Structures are given as C-alpha cells and as structure tokens.
Amino acid sequence: MQQHATSPALALARLVLASGRPVDLAELRFTSTYGDLLEGYPCKPVNDLRIRGLLRTAARARPGTPVHLVPPPRAYPDQYAGGLGPVEVLPPVACVGTFHSTALDPARDPVAYRSRLTVLWFQTTPRLPAGCDAEPALRDLDWPALARDARALA
C-alpha cells in the first residue's frame, strides 16, 4: 500500500503518525482558548461550551470532512471555586487543523482521491506540528478509523 501523502512542499507541515503514515497539514487556525471570555472564569461548563463551539465551526468550514477532538489536558489550579464549579484550565492555544493523506481505499485513484480529517487540539504555544516532534496525541491519531476519502480539489 502506498504511504505517501502530497508533496510536503505544498503543505504547511508534514506530520508522521505513530503508525508511520505521513499526513500533511493543509490548513491551520490558532485561537486563544479564553480570548473572548468576558465574564466568568475557566471551568468545566465554560470549557465544554468552548470546545463544542470550535467543533461546530470546524464542521461548518469543511462539510463532509470528519472532525475529531483530541481530548485536551485539563488543569485544576488551587483557586476559589465559583458558582459554576472548580476552576478548570485548558492550554491557552486552540488549534483547528485540516490534514490530508493518501486515500484509505487502495483501489481509489491516488491522484483523484485523498483522505481528510479536521482535528481540534489544544497546546501551550502557537507552533506548527511537524515531523515526529508533534504532540503525542496528534501522532497517535487512528487515521483509518477517523479520516474519510474525498475527491482531491481540482
């Protein structure tokens, strides 16, 4: 089975999954996790609402491309709990990236089809995931189970 994605020169970055499959980062959007938090404080209800909103936005931006959430680490600093429960903090940078690789179905035309997946993850700094140095949770993506084949853009 062919394991090459599109040329890394055409992508923002190439990520090599733990399975050995190379995937190319075609699009990446960074947002501040709490940049628009005007009232309240970071807590589970606020974080869950933020994550749902990011997932909805990602799904609308790329209809037909599956969206996957890498479960974020949640920190619980020793701070006063308000009416919404204990303080719960996510990493400061929310990332939404669309990745492409070769088609999952080897019978598909390798020029006409690519597998695609949009991923939401959180990290501490705004940096590109690349090579084998990406977040372990990104490298552990189960590409065959999560991605979907689609026609390549004309």
Structure tokens at 90: 């996510």
| 56-70 pLDDT, tens digit each | 999 999 999 999 999
CA neighbor of 13 nearest in space, from 141, 100, 140: 100
**Amino acid code (one letter) for 101:** S
Higher pLDDT, 8 or 147: 147
Structure tokens at 54: 């990011």
pLDDT, position 131: 67
Q: pLDDT band for position 7 (50/70/90)?
A: low
| 54: pLDDT strictly greater than 70 | yes
Would you report the helix, strand and coil content of the chain in percent, each value rounded to 5?
20, 30, 50
CA distance 123 to 119: 13
**Residues 6 or more apart in contact with residue 58 via CB below 8 angstroms:** 67, 96, 118, 120
DSSP 10: G
| 4: pLDDT strictly greater than 60 | no
User: Kind of pairing, strands 67-69 and 113-123?
Assistant: parallel
CA distances, 79 to each of 32, 45, 59 (Å): 21, 17, 35
pLDDT, position 9: 56
CA neighbor of 11 nearest in space, from 103, 130, 123, 135: 130
As a whole number, mean pLDDT of residues 40-64 equals 94
Task: Give whichever of 5-14, 61-70, 134-143 has the largest mean pLDDT.
Answer: 61-70
Higher pLDDT, 136 or 141: 141
| 6: pLDDT strictly greater than 80 | no
As a whole number, mean pLDDT of residues 43-63 equals 95
